[in-house]
Structure 1
Amino acid sequence: MSAIGASSARVAQPQRLTLRLIGSAAVAFGVFLSGFVIDEPAPYELWMAGLIGLWFILGLKISRTTAPLLALLLTFNIGGMLSLTQMRDLATGPMYIAVSTFLALTSIFYAAIIEDSHKRLPLIFNAWSFAAVITSLLGILGYFHAFPGSQVFTLYDRAKGAFQDPNVFGPFLAPPALYLVHGILAGNLRTSPFKAGALLILALGIFLSFSRAAWGLFAVTVLILIFIMLLKERSGAFRLRVLVLSLGAIILMAASLLIALQVPKVSELFSARAQLVQQYDGEHLGRFDRHRIGFQMMMERPLGIGPLVFGTMFPEDEHNIWLKSLTTYGWLGFVSYVGLLCWTLTLGFRNILLDRPWQPFLMVAWISVLGHAAIGNVIDIDHWRHVYLLFGIVWGCAALEARHKRSSRSQTLEKFGKRARFPA
């Protein structure tokens, strides 16, 4: 019987390996679909809904390390459900919270599959980069009206790619651009020209989105990445390489920007968008005025006012994730979101300089989360699919680190145990 059992195990092992490869490919395809959200529900939602259910049915587990992520995101959305009780008309509110809950589940799913195998991280980032290049090209071609009907990839003379809004399109490109920058600075020089070409496409897409938040996100996160890489690596040769390549990349992108600005249409819109404070920011009931009034109003509304209600009371929506958390998810949601963000940044900060196979991916994700937290002051990010992916990556890497430490402790105890049983 033992021989039969061993033979069955040998047969089953290749089957399990095949299933894991198919599952990883399906995850990568899901990440790829996140770059194409022209209408809702998008193909991403449909694909991920089935994929998440199938993975958990087949035994994907949530560990103790990622359990707080589940608790915080569920609490955040419970706050959203409570805010529905404050609405007179529930036309769009329940669907909004349903989407929020689904996106929360995607974050937990990403954390769980990364903890299951860190080898999925390159697949995730490569799929993200591939999607970003394609949607960026669509936005660029649409901006210059390269083919009939290409205007569908623009909005208000701004590139938006396969997204509904340029202000989501631009930030979506920033993390894969950061990943490419890291690959150029620390990877194989033979592949650098291909990565540099892809990076130029993403940088041009970010520029033509004319999203000030995306511009700032890209510039600041690249600077933080370079600083952390210089801090982590003590080799003088590596530091010189990082500085030289960084300088070369800056010169190349600056030259590309100058070429793009020779187009009158680009130059005019850039001059208008480059102003730090636009008219609709500082005017009466503009962005900043709405923020002030909204925060004062929410001090008297512990359950919030419900999803999308703020936009019916004022000229535009909140455009501030902190205010959005209060209006749409109530005080409970606000506290949960602040706790989630602080916990995520703390987990990443603890592990970001450790020498691990997943460290480069954690570095890119953590810096991106930090950057998105900053631009959340001027934009709503609670329904951005890639933000939940970033949360999942940071928590998944934290779970990998926790498992690595447990394994190291077990090995150490085992060695001491052997020495105690067999003294020299």
Structure 2
Amino acid sequence: MSAVTDQRQNAGVDHAKKNRALIKLISTFAVGLGVFLSGFVIDEPAPYELYMAGLIVIWALFGLRLSRTVSVLLAILIVFNIGGAISMGQMPDLKSAPMYIAVSLFLAFTAVFFAAIVNSNQRILPVIFNAYILAAICTSLLGILGYFEAFPGAEVFTRYGRAMGAFQDPNVFGPFLMLPLAWLVHGVLVGNLRALPIRLVPILIITLGIFLSFSRAAWGMAALIIAGLALLVFIRNPNRLFRLRIILLAGLAVVVVLLAIVIALQIPSVAELFTARAQLVQEYDEAQFGRFARHWYGMLMSIDHPLGIGPLEFGPIFGEDTHNIWLKAALDYGWIGFISYLTLTMLTLGFGLRILLRERPWQPFLLCAYLVYVAHVAIGNVIDTDHWRHFWLLIGIIWGCAALEVRHQSDSPSRKASVSALR
């Protein structure tokens, strides 16, 4: 009887293990699919919104846990959107403002979701990054094929003669490609050189997509991120041979990029648009009511309207959107929203920087996400980023890694005590 009982217990244990393995596989695939869908936002609501809304609800019902660190992120984002709701109350006609704030709140929840799942299982990070790379390759190919009109109707993936992939704007398409580019370049810098050809193909595809987006912000971000990666990797490793490798690879990368640009400029349409877009200041920037003038007028308006003027109200008044995330936070979300967003930015930068170079399993992922986030903060001075899906994913990754570090620090004393007791 005991043998039969043991067999049944073992069978039950094996069955439970199989069920847990299946649930883990399904949940991992579900997260990867959500990240992949973030690369396809032609219309709104996009499949990403519909899918992620369902995924977050299901995950919350079956045990989404928020640590103290992630709870702080949630609290800041709720206050930020409360500011948006108050600002909306200043509008005589709500128009599409309720939907705008609803999307803002949803994107805030996605940041909290990604932070929570990273904190609960650091092994989800490779899944997130690999799914993101796959999305970047697919949307880059669509942008490239659209730019060269490779098939009938391909122009749907372009705008104003610029590649935009499966997005609504080339200025979102370009920045979206930054994290995959950073991760692939990081792999080239520190990984096995035998895998270089495997990484080189997606790097070339993504780089061409960035170039054909003709987004000055994206070009600058790519340069900043790659230079930052090379510098930080160089600083982290004191080995002379490794540092020589970094220098040689960085020099080779510069040569390859310059050659690629020279080749691309042989195409007349590319050369013409490149010449126009390469100018640091465009005509619409310095006009009487250009981008920079609007920033000044908007700042004065925000002083007179501490509760905000309502989401999307700035554009109809001045003919263009704010194109400045700080101004947008103050006008669309009021002073409450502005202070919340400033707090979020400072904490994200501070938390990430404090643990950036610590030897942890998740350090490479944090390093890439942090540099890309810094680049996004920089371009926020000339563009609105509050409704970029991947921007909130970056915040989620950084806060998730910060929460992992807090847990790691809290576990260390107990582990040391256990070791001492065994001795």
TM-score category (smaller protein): over 0.9
Answering whether residue 210 of structure 2 is matched by residue 198 of structure 1, we say: no
Q: Secondary structure of the equivalent of 2:177?
A: helix
The equivalent position to 1:401 in structure 2, one of 393, 398, 405, is: 405
Superposed, 1:316-335 pairs within 5 Å as: 316-335=320-339
Alignment of 1:312-351 (within 5 A): 312-351=316-355
SS of 2:304 mapped into structure 1: coil
Q: Which runs of 5+ in 1 are unaligned?
A: 420-424
Q: How many Å separate the matches in 1 of 2:40 and 2:379?
A: 22
Aligned residue in 1 for 2:247: 243
For 1:290, the equivalent position in structure 2 comes to: 294
Tell me, yes or no, if structure 1 residue 120 matches structure 2 residue 121.
no
Q: In structure 2, what is the equivalent of residue 390 of structure 1?
A: 394
| Secondary structure of residue in 1 paired with 2:92 | coil
- Write the letter of the residue equivalent to 1:246: A
Query: Which whole-Å CA distance do the structure 2 matches of 1:21 and 1:61 have between them?
Result: 19
1:10, distance to aligned residue in structure 2 (A): 4.1
2:192 to 183, 188, 203: 188
In 2, distance between residues paired with 1:181 and 1:418? Answer: 44
Asked if 2 retains the 8 angstrom alpha-carbon contact of 1:107 and 1:388, the reply is yes
Separation in structure 2 between the aligned mates of residue 95 and residue 34 of structure 1, nearest angstrom: 19
Aligned to 2:37: 33
- 1:74 paired with 2:71, answer no
How far 1:13 moved relative to its partner? Answer: 2.4
Cα deviation 1:364-389 (Å, max 9, x = unaligned): 00111110000000000000000000
Show the 5 A alignment for 1:9-408. Answer: 9-408=13-412
- The CA deviation at 1:308 is 0.7
Question: Displacement, 1:93?
Answer: 0.1
Deviation string 1:326-381 (CA, Å, 9 cap, x unpaired) is: 11111011001111011011111111111111110000001111100000000000
Q: Give 1:183's aligned amino acid.
A: G
Q: Which AA in structure 2 matches 1:369?
A: Y
Which digits, 9 at most, give the CA deviation of each residue in 1:266-316, with x for residues without a partner?
101111111111010001010000000100110111110111100010020
Pairwise CA distance, 1:235: 1.1
| Equivalent AA in structure 1 for residue 232 of structure 2 | I
Alpha carbons 1:200, 1:253 under 8 Å: kept:
no
Q: 1:310 to 1:178 in 2, by over 3 A?
A: same
CA distance in 1, matches of 2:94, 2:319: 20
Q: For residues 79 and 242 of structure 2, what CA distance do their matches in structure 1 show?
A: 45
* CA distance in 1 between partners of 2:36 and 2:319 (Å): 35
CA distance in 2: counterparts of 1:5 and 1:115, whole angstroms: 33
**Structure 1 CA distance, aligned partners of 2:97 and 2:9?**
55
Q: Secondary structure of 2:27's partner?
A: helix
Taking structure 1 as the reference length, the TM-score comes to 0.96
Counterparts of 2:12 and 2:105, CA distance in 1: 41
What CA distance in whole angstroms lies between the structure 2 residues aligned with 1:265 and 1:382? Answer: 33
Give how far 1:7 is off.
5.6
After TM superposition, where is structure 1 displaced by more than 2 Å over at least 4 residues in a row?
1-11, 414-419
Shift of 1:403: 1.3
The superposition leaves residues 217-266 of structure 1 with CA deviations (integer Å, 9 ceiling, x where unpaired) of: 11111111111111111111211111111211221121111110110101
Contact 1:366/1:394 (CA < 8 Å) preserved in 2? yes
5+ residue gaps, structure 2:
none
Cα distance in 1, alignment partners of residues 392 and 290 from structure 2: 29
Alpha-carbon distance in 1 for matches of 2:124, 2:242 = 27
Q: CA separation in 1, counterparts of 2:65 and 2:9?
A: 26
Tell me how far 1:418 sits from its aligned partner: 4.4
SS for the counterpart of 1:66 is: helix
Within 2, Cα distance between the matches of 1:333 and 1:413?
Answer: 44
In the alignment of these two chains, the number of paired residues is: 419
